[in-house]
Amino acid sequence: MVNDFLKMGPHDVGGEVSHSIDTHDHGMSYWEKFSNGLRMALTSTKIITLDELRLTAESFGQKYFEMEYFHRNARALVEICQQRELFTEAEFLEELSRQKKIFEVPIINLPNKEQIAHLHDGVEHKHSQSDFQEDETGEGPPEFYFDMLAAASILQKKNFISAQDIQSRIEKFDKVFPFRGISVVARAWVDSNFRKHLLTDAKTAIKEIGIQLESFADIICFAQSDSVHHIVVCTLCSCYPRTLLGMPPTWYKSRTYRSRVVHEPRAVLEEFGTKIPSNKEVKVHDSNADMRYLILPQRPKGTEGWNEKELTQLISRDHLVGVRIPEDVIQ
């Protein structure tokens, strides 16, 4: 099984046998957010493209499977920048060394005594010297973050991007984007004309209510119904309507979700607590770099007369991906 797994192309995961899904979103560390911010600052200005990043990562061969998601992206980004002569390997290695030194933890020379005594509530208490030296093993930034820091530092010095370009994208993905999709759904629940427009031309409809999508990809919206349940995946990597929903959750990017949902969607949905009747069709929509999907859930029963603001309290990101369903309101 392992050999067959490694022989597959990097993105050929649909239908692959896998284990159960960790349905909890573990969030993103700051260095992961920084890496995304840098990548998006570069791709939004077309200094590099997503297609280039993906193709470069695919060229890693066996190493592709040995690297984590952000590690692959970092190495691909650095390699493209060097190929484009945005900076040389020597410049990168010099800056990489400088960035790593910033994070070095100084070793504190303590008194050379086997035991160091002090008082706890008036009672003498002793420590060995090793108790005072904090162990940083496994703590702090991962290796890919240093790659991204070094690349960002050089590109800023050469005026390709600014620190604000990166920070503004981090803030948008944290504070702005996650609420856009929710507001779109709430509007569709109270405005039948907007709903109709959303289902026929989502990108234009969304722009007409004042939401400017910082994305080159098109968007298609599918409505949940009594006869069909829709669910979204990206078997390639993690293509996702980020400017509507923020960053994709941990499980969405996992190989387990990407491989299983295309061939056993009902079983996957049950792991999220969503049971679909056997007489209801399940459709899986596979996103890519040019096409993203938004799922319009059915309006919960018991919300008649509610306004948009009230309705937004019932909507979550998982509803707009299709892995969960909003609960009806009990009066």
Name the residue with higher pLDDT: 237 or 273: 273
The DSSP result for 123-159, as a single string, is: EEEEEEGGGGS---TT-S--HHHHHHHHHHHHHHHTT
Position 134 pLDDT exceeds 50: no
274, 200 in Cβ contact below 8 A?
no
- What is the pLDDT at residue 137? 42
227 given a catalytic annotation? no
What whole-number distance in Å separates Cα of residue 160 and Cα of residue 154? 9
Q: Count Cα neighbours of 10 within 13 Å in the Cβ-side half-sphere.
A: 20
Complete domains list, the chain, with CATH: 2-102+143-173 (1.10.472.20), 177-321 (3.90.330.10)
CA separation for the pair 172, 37 (Å, rounded): 10
Q: Which amino acid is at 141?
A: P
pLDDT at 129 over 50: no
Please tell me which residue in 44, 168, 215, 238 is annotated as part of the active site. Answer: 238
- For residues 228 and 325, give the distance between their C-alpha atoms in angstroms, rounded to a whole number: 13
pTM equals 0.72
Distance CA 319, CA 30 (A): 26
Question: pLDDT per residue over 44-82, tens digit each?
Answer: 888 998 889 988 998 998 888 888 888 999 999 999 999
Q: How many CB atoms lie within 10 A of CB 230?
A: 22
Residue with tokens 């939401």: 211
**Is the predicted pLDDT of residue 5 greater than 50, yes or no?**
no
What is the C-alpha separation between 162 and 38, in angstroms, rounded? 10
Highest mean pLDDT among 27-36, 151-160, 209-218, 282-291: 151-160
Query: Which residue in the list 35, 183, 239, 287 is annotated as catalytic?
Result: 239
Q: What is the pLDDT of residues 162-171, one digit of tens each?
A: 999 999 888 8
Question: What does DSSP assign to residue 288?
Answer: B
Annotated catalytic, 234?
yes
DSSP SS3 for 22: coil
- Whole-number pLDDT of residue 8: 52
Known active-site residue 238 = yes
Catalytic status, residue 183: no
Considering the candidates 35, 183, 221, 237, report the single residue annotated as catalytic: 237
Catalytic entry in 81, 153, 234, 287: 234
